[in-house]
Amino acid sequence: MSHNTGKIVLEEHFALPDTVDVSEKYFAPAIWPAMRHSLVDIHGQRLEQMERNGIEVMFLSLNSPGPQSVLDRQSSIDLARRANDYLAEQISRSPARFQGFAALPMQDPEAASAELTRSVKSLGLCGALVNGFSQVGQEDSAVYYDLPQFWPFWETAEKLGAPVYLHPRDLLPSRLQAYAGHPWLVAAPWGFGADTALHALRLMGSGLFDRYPKLTIVLGHLGEGLPGSIWRADHRIAKTPLGIPAKKPLSAYLRENFILTTSGNFRTPTLLSAIAEVGAERILFSVDYPFEDLADGVKWLDSAEIGDADRQRIASGNARRIFRLD
- pLDDT beyond 50 at 3: no
Strand order in the sheet with 7-14: 7-14, 55-62, 98-100
Average pLDDT (232-247) is 98
Give Cα separations from 116 to 22, 183, 291, 296, 311 (angstroms).
24, 35, 26, 33, 31
- The single residue of 72, 288, 302, 308 carrying the catalytic annotation is 288
Average pLDDT (229-247) is 98
The answer to whether 263 touches 293, Cβ cutoff 8 Å, is no
- pLDDT beyond 90 at 4: no
162-186 pLDDT, tens digit per residue, is: 999 999 999 999 999 999 999 999 9
282-291 burial, b if ≥16 CB within 10 A, otherwise e? bbbbbbbbbb
24-38 pLDDT, tens digit per residue, is: 999 999 999 999 999
Could you give the percent of the chain with pLDDT greater than 90? 98
Q: Which domain holds residue 87?
A: 7-322
Q: What is the mean pLDDT of the chain?
A: 97
Question: Quick check: is 326 catalytic?
Answer: no
Task: Evaluate whether residue 2 is within a structural domain.
Answer: no
At 219, the pLDDT band (50, 70, 90 cuts) reads very high
pLDDT at residue number 318: 98
267-305 pLDDT, tens digit per residue, is: 999 999 999 999 999 999 999 999 999 999 999 999 999
Q: ω before 65 within 30° of 0 (cis)?
A: yes
- pLDDT beyond 90 at 140: yes
At 2, the pLDDT band (50, 70, 90 cuts) reads very low
CATH number at residue 91: 3.20.20.140
- pLDDT beyond 50 at 76: yes
pTM (2 d.p.): 0.97
Task: Evaluate whether residue 1 is within a structural domain.
Answer: no
110-134 pLDDT, tens digit per residue, is: 999 999 999 999 999 999 999 999 9
Helices of type H across the chain: 32-40, 45-52, 73-93, 109-121, 151-160, 191-205, 208-211, 226-239, 250-257, 268-278, 294-303, 308-312, 318-322
Task: Evaluate whether residue 232 is within a structural domain.
Answer: yes
Average pLDDT (256-261) is 98
- pLDDT beyond 60 at 103: yes
The answer to whether 209 touches 253, Cβ cutoff 8 Å, is yes
- pLDDT beyond 90 at 1: no
Average pLDDT (55-73) is 97
- pLDDT beyond 80 at 5: no
Cβ count within 10 A of residue 175: 14
Could you give the percent of the chain with pLDDT greater than 70? 98
Domains in the chain: how many in total?
1
The answer to whether 299 touches 287, Cβ cutoff 8 Å, is no
